[in-house]
Structure 1
Amino acid sequence: MSNQNEQSLNKVLAGKLFFIPDYQRPYAWEGQQLAELWEDLDLMGPAQHHYAGTLVLMRRPEDASTTSRGELLEPFDVVDGQQRLTTCFILLDRIRRRFEMLSDLDEDAVDKAADLRHTFGLLKVRKQSRPRLSLGSGLNDLWASQILMDDKISTGEYTDAEYRLLHAAQFFDARLDELLDGDGQPNLARLEDLLGRVRSGLRFLVYEVASSSEIGVIFETLNARGRPLSELEKIKNYLLFLIRHVKDGRQEALASLINTTWGRVFSNLSGSRIAGDDLARIHWLITQNPDSRSWHGSSSVKTLFSRSKFVPSSARLANSVDATSVAMAELHDELAEGVEKYVKTLGLAAGYLGEIQDAHPTLPDLTSHSSEVSNALAAFRRAGYPANFRPLIVAALMARPHDGEFLENLVRACEAYAARVFIIAQRRADAGRTQLHRMAFNLWTGVSTPTEILNQVAALTRTYANDDQVRAGLAVEERWYPRAGHKYFLYEYELKLTKGRSAVPAFETFTGKGNEAKTTEHILPQHPDWESSDWRQFTEEEHAALRHSLGNLVLTYDNSSYGRKAFAAKRGSPTETQSPCYARAPLAQEREVAVFADWTPSTISQRQKKLVEFALERWHVPPAAPDVIVAVEDLEDEIDSEEDES
C-alpha cells in the first residue's frame, strides 16, 4: 500500500484517469442512496466537510496520457467505491448543464461549465474524446453518449444498470429543478454553493495500491482498521456534527461530554460480549420507543435529532430565510438539552450493562442487598437467554439505582421466566420479548411502579408457562439431555441439596470448553450392556423413552469413570475405595441416587416427580391479581400465532 489519506473530490481527481474494471458489479445505486447523498449535501453547510466513504485505486500498467490541455493523467482502476464516485460524476454533469443554462446571467457560468466538462466529463486524449471516468464495457457507450452527452440513440431495452444510470441523472435533474425554482442571480449562487459542497466538501478516504497482490491486503486493512463505522460510531459522529450549530458556548462542553462518554462506553463494554450497537438499541428501547421495529440504527437517532429541524436554513442549499433569533435560540436549547440527556443516559446504560455482564458486579449505587443482587445475577446468567431481559434490568438500574430489594426481586423474576418459559416449557426464544421491552420503557418513564412491573413479569411468566405447563415440560418422557438447559437445572438442584454451600464447584466446571459431554451422567446408559441383569428390567421401548429423561440424569465430574457399568457397580457403597461410585461422589445428587437399591422405570419416575416439585418451588411464580391478568390477556393471541408459526 503506497498511501492512504482523506481527500476532497478535487484532490482525488488530480492527475488521474479512472476506469471501472469489467469484473466490478455494474452501477447499482437507487432512489434511497441518491436521496441520502442529496440530503448530506443539503445539510452539510458551506465550508463544511462530510465523510463520503472509501475509494481504493490501483495503478494500471499502461502509460500516462496527456490531454489536449497538456494535463498528464495516470490511469487507475477503481477497485472499491465505484458507486459513489460514479454518482458524483453524474451529479457534476447535471450541474454543468445548469451552468450552461445560466450563461446569460454571468459570463463565468460558461467557463464553469467548460471546466466541469473537462474535469469530470469528456476529455480530448490523443485527439479522441473519452470520459474522465470510464465504466465497464457493458455501460460505457450509454455513459458517454447519454449521460455525459445528449445523444438520444435508441439502444432497445435497457439493462437494469443502464436504467439506474438514467434514473440517477433524472433524480438529480429533479432536485436541481426544486433548488433553482426561479430566475436570476440567486440560482447561480445556489449552484456555485452546491458545486463547492460536491468538489470540496465531500471527503473520501483514499487508498492506492500498486498491484493486484495488494488488493487482499487493503481489504484486510479495511476490515481491521478502516472497517465501516459501527452504528454507535455513526451516532457519535452525527451528534458531534449536529452540535456545531449550538453557538452560545455550549458546543465545546457538549463535544467533551460526547467524547468522554464514548470513551467510557467502549471501556465498559470491552470485557463483555455486548457490542456497542446492541447498547445503542437497548438504550433506544428503554428511553425512546419499546417497539423493536422502531430501531433502525443511527438513522433512528438522526430522526430523533433531525438535521432539517436543527440545522439553520442559512446552511441549506436553498438558503431560505432563517427563523427569528429567538426561535433559533429555543431550537439550540432544545438540541443541547436533548443531546445532553441522550448522551448521559447512554453512558448510564453502558455502565449498568457492563455491570450485569460482569461475573463479579460491584453495583456501587446500591444502598442494600448488594450480595443478594450479585447472587441473583449469577443465577440469571446461568439460566441463559439474557438478551430478552437486558433492557428491563438496565432500565431498573437507571430508574432506581439505589433500590437493591427491587433489583433482586426483578432479577429473580427474570430468571424464573427464563427457566419456566424457555428451558422447561420450550417456548420460542423471543416469547414475550415485546412485552418485556414495553415494561422497560414504562419503568424508565414512570408509567409503571416497581410493584406493577414485578406483577406484570409474573403474569407474563404464567401466561407462557403456568404450573401445568411446567409439569408437562417435566414429564418423564421428555428428552432433556439434548437441551442446553439441563445442566442449569441440575446445577440449581445441587445448590438446593447442599443449601448453597461453597463446596459446590462453579457452574463453568460443568459447562466450560471440553466439559460439555463428560459432565452429564446417564444412570441408565445410552448404550447399556443388555447382558447385565440391572438393565434387563428395561424394555427397548422404555429405554428409548427414558434414557434422556431428566430423572435419569445427574451432574458428575467425569462420566467416563462410569461408562456402561451395571447400576450396582455405579452405585457402590460408602466404604468402597477402589473406584468412583455414586455413594462416595462429591456431588450430592449422585449420592442421592445411591439410596435406591436398583434402577428401574419406576425409580426414574419417582426421581422425576421429586425434580418437578423442586422446579415448582425453585421457580415459583405467584398467581396474578385479576387486574394484572387483564393487562396481559391480549398475549393469548400472540402465543397462539407463535405456536402456529413454529
Structure 2
Amino acid sequence: MQELESLQNIFKNRIFKIPDYQRGYAWTTRQLKDFWEDVVNLPHDRFHYTGLLSLKKLNRQTWSSWNDEKWLIEDRGYKPFHIVDGQQRLTTFVIFIQVISELLKELPSNSENKEDDIYLGSFSLKAIKESYLVIEKPPQFIIKTYKFGYETDNPSFKFLKHRIFLERNSGSIQETFYTLNLENSKKFFKENLAEFYNEYGLSEIESLFKKLTQNLMFNVYEISDDFDVFVAFETMNNRGKKLSNLELLKNRLIYLTTLYEEDELKPDERTSLREKINDAWKEVYYQLGRNKKYPLNDDDFLVAHWIMYFQYSREKGDDYIRFLLEQKFTPQNIYAKTEVKVSSIQEFEEIKENEETDQEEVETNGNGEEKTVLRSKLTPKEIEDYVNSLKSAAVHWYNTNHPVNNPDLPEIERLWIDRLNRIGIIYFRPLVTVSYLSKMETVDRVGLFQAIERFIFVTFRLSRAFSTYRNSEFYRAARQLRNNELSIDTIIERLNERMNYCFYTPQESEETYFDYTYFQKFIEKKFKSGGGFYNWNGLRYFLYEYEMEKVRQRGSQKIDWKLFVKGEKDKISIEHIYPQTPDKKCWKESFREYKKQERHYFQGTLGNLLPLSQSINSSLQNDCFVNKKNPKYNDRKDKIRQGYSDGSHSEIEVSNYPDWNADTILERSIKLLEFMEKRWDLKFEDERSMAELLFLDFMYEEEIEETK
C-alpha cells in the first residue's frame, strides 16, 4: 500500500496548478464546517486520513510558458503538477493557511515586526508563506510565485491572488459564483479563527497549524502519461461534491480536443479550440454568478441551451445530458469516420492559409478535382459552433433572469421581461433568450413578450391548463427561431391560436367572450377550502398589475414586488377588507341581511382583497372599515399600521368609499374584472357573467326578488 503523506511533505518542492478542465471552487459552508471540525477535534497525536490526491506531473512543453514559476522549476528543482482530484481540499487548506498568516501579522505584538521576525512556534511567518503560499524571486522581488493556483487565464486565479492572498494593485477583477465561494471560505475561517484565538490563545493556533500541516494525511497518486486523465477526473470527482453537468461537459469537450488526429486538427487549431472552450466557460460562469446574491443554476442554463440548440424531445429526467455526453460529444463520434468529398481547390486553400506552398503548386493542384477523405463524425467545427453558442447565450440568459435596472436592455424590454418573471415564465425562457440571439427590432421582441405574458395569464392562471400544455411546441419554436425557420409573427399567431379553447362565441353573435368555466370551478374549490380568490395563484400578479397601472397614471410606486410576495409569519400583504373574522359590531351591522355562505363569498371574492404597501400583523385586519382608512397607533402613540388613505394607490382608491358593504364589494369586483378585460384583451358577456364568476350572482337574484 502506498505511504500516506502530510501536507507539509506534499508541498515540499512542488508547484500546483488547477487545470483548465477543472471546475472552480465549489465548497460551501457545509463542507467548510466539516473541515473545520475535523481539524479542531483531531487529537494532537493522531493522524487523519483526508483522502486521495491525484496529480499529473507536467512536461516542459506545458510549463515552459509559465513566466512566474519557471525560475523555481529550472533553478531550484521544483516539480510542476496539475491537480486532477483533491483541488477542493487543497484550496481550502491554502485559504486556511492564509488566514492564519493574516492573524499572526495583525497581532498588536507583531505590528512593527517583519515577516521573518514573526513566529508561530518554531515557524516564522516568512517560512510558512514560502512553504505553502508564495515565494518572491530575489534579488529584485518583482516576481511572486504562488505555490498553488489556477491556470492564468482563469478569473479565479486573479481573485485568489488579490482578494485571498492580498496581492496589491489588482485592477478590475471578474467575479463568479466560484470566486464568491473563495470569498466565503476566507470569511468563514477568519471568523472562526478569531473566536478560537480569543478563547484559547496563540498556543492553540499553533496546534491547529501543526495538525493542519502534519496530521492531515493524503494518499498521493501520480497519474502516468498513458493514463486517461480526463476520464480519471470525471470518475474521481464524482466521489466528493458531485460535479454539475455543465462542469462535466466542459471536461468532456476539452478531452475530445485531444483525440483528433493531426491531419484533422493541427496543433495550433487544437490550442485555439481549447482556448475557445475555456473562454466560453469563463463567460458562462461569469454570467451565472454575476448577481452574487442570486446566482443562477448552471444546469438550468444547460437544459435551456440544449432546447435552443438541439432537437427537443419530450422525454423525462436527464435525457438532455445523456444526449450531450452519451450521444453527441463522445469519443466514439471522433473515432467513427465518415467520407467527405473535398475539392483539391478547397484542400489547397487550407494549405495556402498555413503558408506551406507557393504559386507553382497552386497551378499544379488547383484544378478543381474532387477526392474523398475520412473525417470524424463529430467535427472540430461542430464543437466550436456549440461552445460559441453557449457563450453568446449566457449574457442573454442573465438578462432574462435579472432585467430590473439592467442597462443592457431597453426600458420597455425590461418592463415586459420583469412581468414574465413575476407571473412565472414557466417554459418560455428559452424562447425569450433566443429572441436576443436573433436579429430583430425591439418592437417585434416586445410583441412576442406581450403575447407570451397574455398566453400565460389566460391559459394557466385563468383557464387552469396543465403547466406542460404546449411546451414541446414552443420549445421547438425556440430552436426554429434561432435557425431562422420560424418568424416572430408566426409564433405570436400560434400563441393566440392555442388560446382558442379559452373563448366562445354564442349563437347568432359576432362577439367572442372569455369562457370562465374552468376558472370558476377552480375558485369554487378554493371557496370550499376556505380561501376563495385569496388562494388563486395569479392573485398577487393581478393586483400588482392593477396597482402598477395606477402608478403609470399617477406616478409614485408604493409597492415593492419582492416585499409583496415575501412570506412573513403572522403578517399579510393582501388584506381582506371585510375580514374573515368579522366579530366587531360594525361588520355584523353591515352584512346582517346576508346568509353565512353569502358572507363567506363576500370575504373571499376579488373586490374584497386589497394589496397593502406595508405588510401588517394579521390581527389588525379585523378592524372596522373607518379605522382601516386611517393610521392606527398603540397606547405609546407608535404607529402600528398605515391607513388606506396614505397607502398604495389601490388603498387610496378604496379609502374613497364612504362605507364597505355588499354593494361596494360588488362594485370594486366588477371594476377589477373590467381592468382584466382591458389588460389581457378578453371580454365577459355582461355584468351578470362577471358576478357569476365572482360568486356574487345571488345579489342580482335578490334584486329581481325585490322588484317583484
Task: Classify the secondary structure of the residue corresponding to 2:396.
Answer: helix
Report the equivalent of 2:562: 508
* Residue of structure 2 equivalent to 1:84: none
- Quickly say closer, same or farther: Cα 1:504–1:389, change in 2 above 3 A: same
- From 601, 616, 639, give the equivalent of 1:545: 601
**Aligned equivalent of 1:144:** none
SS in 2 for 1:605: helix
> Aligned pair in 2 of structure 1 residues 444, 500: CA closer, same or farther (>3 Å)?
farther
User: Whole-Å Cα distance in 2 between the matches of residues 53 and 464 of structure 1?
Assistant: 57
What is aligned with 1:357? 401
Quote how far apart the aligned CAs of 1:338 are.
0.4
Structural mapping, 1:220-619, within 5 Å: 226-246=240-260, 247=262, 248=266, 249-270=268-289, 271=291, 272=294, 274-293=296-315, 296-302=319-325, 303-311=327-335, 330-331=375-376, 335-360=379-404, 362=406, 364=408, 370-384=410-424, 386-400=425-439, 403-463=441-501, 467-470=513-516, 473=519, 479-499=532-552, 501-505=554-558, 506-514=560-568, 517-529=571-583, 531-532=585-586, 533-556=589-612, 557-560=614-617, 562-571=620-629, 584-619=645-680
- SS at 2:647 equivalent: coil
Q: Answer whether contact 1:421 1:464 (CA < 8 A) is retained.
A: yes
8 Å CA contact 1:535, 1:566 repeated in 2: no
Contact 2:464-2:519 within 8 A present in 1 as well: yes
Deviation at 1:372, TM superposition (A): 0.6
Amino acid at match of 2:542: F
Give the Å deviation of 1:343: 0.6
Residue 519 of structure 2 aligns with an amino acid whose one-letter code is G
> Alpha-carbon deviations, 1:334-364, whole Å to 9, x = none?
5111001111111122211111111436474
Query: Shift in Å at residue 283 of structure 1?
Result: 0.9
Structure 1: unaligned runs, 5 residues or longer: 9-48, 55-195, 208-221, 314-325, 623-646
1 CA distance for matches of 2:570 and 2:447? 31
Q: CA RMSD in A?
A: 4.0
Alpha-carbon offset, residue 262 of structure 1: 0.9
Cα distance in 2, alignment partners of residues 342 and 374 from structure 1: 28
Label 1:289 to 1:52 Cα distance change in 2 as closer, same or farther (>3 A). Answer: farther
Q: What's the offset of the Cα at 1:587?
A: 1.6
Structure 2 residue matching 1:514: 3-state secondary structure: coil
Q: Deviations over 1:207-241 (max 9, x none)?
A: 9xxxxxxxxxxxxxx89x93122111111111111
Q: Distance in 2 between matches of 1:395 and 1:603?
A: 47
Give secondary structure in 1 for the equivalent of 2:621: coil
State the shift of 1:462 in Å.
Answer: 4.1
Aligned partner of residue 427 in structure 1, secondary structure: coil
8 Å contact 1:420–1:470 — kept in the other structure?
no
- 1:418-449 CA deviation, whole Å, 9 max, x = no partner? 22222233332222322221221221122211
The superposition leaves residues 316-345 of structure 1 with CA deviations (integer Å, 9 ceiling, x where unpaired) of: xxxxxxxxxx8666338x511100111111
Relative to structure 1, the CA distance from residue 597 to residue 509 in structure 2 (aligned partners, 3 Å threshold; closer, same or farther) is same
Deviation at 1:555, TM superposition (A): 0.8
Measure, in 2, the Cα distance between the counterparts of 1:287 and 1:446: 12
**Alignment CA distance shift 1:284-1:558 (3 Å):** closer
How far, CA to CA, are the matches of 1:516 and 1:406 in structure 2?
A: 45
TM-score normalised over the length of structure 2 = 0.51
Please state whether the residue corresponding to 2:610 is helix, strand or coil. Answer: strand
Conservation of the 8 A alpha-carbon contact between 1:462 and 1:621: no
Contact 2:423 2:457 survives alignment (8 Å): yes
| Cα gap change, 1:501 to 1:392, in 2 (>3 Å) | farther
> Separation in 2 of the partners of 1:572 and 1:413?
41
Q: Secondary structure at the match of 1:518?
A: strand
TM-score by length of 1: 0.56
1:232–1:280 CA contact under 8 A, matched in 2: yes
Greater RCO (CA < 8 Å, at least 6 residues apart): 1
CA distance in 1 between counterparts of 2:565 and 2:678 reads 24
Tell me, in whole angstroms, the C-alpha distance in 2 between the residues paired with 1:202 and 1:473.
54
In 2: Cα distance, 1:198 partner to 1:383 partner: 52
Q: 1 CA distance for matches of 2:651 and 2:533?
A: 18
- AA aligned to 2:429 is R
How far, CA to CA, are the matches of 1:470 and 1:528 in structure 2? 30
Q: Rate the CA distance shift 1:571–1:360 in 2: closer, same or farther, 3 A.
A: closer
Partners in 2 of 1:498 and 1:471 — Cα distance?
32
**What stretches of structure 2 of length at least 5 have no aligned partner?**
1-47, 56-81, 88-224, 338-370, 505-512, 632-636, 684-708
- Report if the CA contact (8 A) 1:291-1:437 is conserved: no
Contact 1:443 1:450 in 2 (8 A): yes
Q: 1:258 to 1:363 in 2, by over 3 A?
A: farther
Q: Look up the equivalent residue of 1:454 and give its one-letter code.
A: I
Offset of 1:394 from its aligned partner? Answer: 0.9
Indicate conservation of the 8 Å contact 1:495/1:501, yes or no.
Answer: no
8 Å CA contact 2:259–2:331 kept in 1: the answer is no
Could you say if the C-alpha distance between residues 244 and 363 of structure 1 is closer, same or farther in structure 2, counting changes exceeding 3 Å? farther
Going from structure 1 to structure 2, the CA distance change for 1:273 and 1:540 (only over 3 Å counts) comes to farther
Q: Distance in 1 between matches of 2:233 and 2:400?
A: 40
Instruction: State the distance in 1 between where 2:306 and 2:247 align.
Output: 15
Contact 2:502 2:514 in 1 (8 A): no
Separation (CA, whole Å) in 1 of partners of 2:662 and 2:447: 39
How many pairs align? Answer: 407
Describe the superposition over 1:561-613 as per-residue Cα deviations: whole angstroms up to 9, x where unpaired.
8521223433469xxx9996866233221222234343333332222221111
Matches within 5 A, 1:144-183: none
Q: Distance in 2 between matches of 1:259 and 1:441?
A: 25
- CA deviations on 1:476-524 (whole Å, 9 max, x unpaired) are 9662212343122111111222325541132123123538942111011
CA distance in 2, matches of 1:499, 1:244: 58
Distance 1:610 1:277 in 2: 44
Separation of aligned partners in 2, 1:206 and 1:583: 62
The residue matched to 1:330 in structure 2 has which SS?
strand
Q: Are residues 200 and 530 of structure 1, via their aligned partners in 2, closer, same or farther at CA, if it must alter by over 3 Å? A: closer
Identify if the C-alpha distance between structure 1 residues 328 and 604 changes in structure 2 by more than 3 Å, giving closer, same or farther. Answer: farther
Separation (CA, whole Å) in 2 of partners of 1:327 and 1:619? 60
